[in-house]
């Protein structure tokens, strides 16, 4: 087993056997040089540099990191969503970029993971088109959203017609008669959720939900 550390464009590879350091290899320009006694000096130097960087960084950067972590405590967010929240909190672009780099490095935000989770919780109630459109609105690119859908669908492929049936059923039971106004509203509601007109018409026919024309008496 080994651990690798980078410092000044060189790699210090620490080989560990039974949790004891046996030897060290520094890779410089592709060549290995072995040392047995420089590890402690190397670690001390790196720690001093890290402490110096922390001491010199603007206080706003630390505040932005803390704010980002608090925002992520109760819910997952996309990079775009977190960026907007930090900007609304009044942080500069540099501080926002710093905070995002920090949380991304530790895996606290991951747009691919967010997309898969978002899809898993909604694929039984919304159409593929609707979910992908919503993810894109949250700042996730179309390719990432589609890949996430395909991954989740491979595990639990939804039947979109069944989803459409259940969605309509929440509004109206089978064998219902609707006037023109209610039918237009139902179509609009379903289209906004990403369902196609032909699928809506077929499902309504199968459920025997039909349009009834009402006429007013003219005097």
- Domain 57-105 maps to which CATH number in 1.10.10, 1.10.3720, 1.10.20, 3.30.70? 1.10.10
pLDDT confidence of residue 144: 92
The answer, as to whether pTM is greater than 0.85, is: no
pLDDT beyond 90 at 196: no
Q: Which residues contact 75 (CB under 8 A, 6 or more apart)?
A: none
Domain boundaries defined on the chain: 2-55, 57-105, 111-155, 160-211
SS3 of 156-169: the string is CCCCHHHHHHHHHH
Q: How many CB atoms lie within 10 A of CB 163?
A: 20
Q: How many CB atoms lie within 10 A of CB 88?
A: 8
Q: How many CB atoms lie within 10 A of CB 144?
A: 17
Condensed to tens digits (0 to 9), the pLDDT of residues 98-119 reads: 999 988 888 888 999 999 889 8
pLDDT beyond 60 at 23: no
pLDDT beyond 60 at 17: no
Q: Is 77 helix (H, G, I), strand (E, B) or coil?
A: coil
Condensed to tens digits (0 to 9), the pLDDT of residues 40-93 reads: 555 555 555 555 555 567 889 989 999 999 999 888 899 999 999 999 999 999
Q: Is 17 helix (H, G, I), strand (E, B) or coil?
A: strand
pLDDT beyond 60 at 2: no
């Amino acid at each position: 087993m080994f651990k690798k550390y980078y410092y000044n464009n060189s790699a210090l590879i620490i080989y560990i056997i039974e949790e004891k350091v046996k030897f060290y290899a520094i890779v410089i320009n592709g060549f290995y040089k072995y040392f047995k006694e420089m590890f402690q000096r190397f670690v001390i130097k790196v720690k001093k540099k890290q402490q110096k960087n922390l001491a010199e960084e603007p206080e706003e950067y630390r505040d932005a990191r803390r704010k980002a972590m608090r925002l992520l405590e109760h819910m997952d967010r996309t990079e775009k969503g977190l960026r907007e929240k930090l900007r609304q909190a009044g942080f500069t672009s540099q501080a926002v970029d710093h905070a995002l780099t920090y949380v991304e490095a530790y895996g606290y935000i991951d747009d691919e993971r967010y997309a898969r989770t978002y899809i898993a919780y909604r694929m039984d109630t919304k159409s593929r088109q609707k979910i992908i459109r919503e993810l894109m609105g949250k700042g996730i690119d179309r390719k990432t959203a589609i890949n996430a859908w395909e991954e989740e669908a491979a595990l639990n492929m939804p039947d979109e017609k069944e989803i459409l049936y259940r969605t309509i059923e929440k509004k109206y039971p089978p064998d219902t008669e609707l006037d023109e106004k209610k039918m237009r509203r139902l179509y609009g509601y379903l289209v906004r959720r990403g369902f196609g007109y032909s699928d809506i018409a077929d499902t309504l026919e199968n459920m025997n939900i039909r349009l009834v024309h009402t006429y007013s008496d003219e005097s």
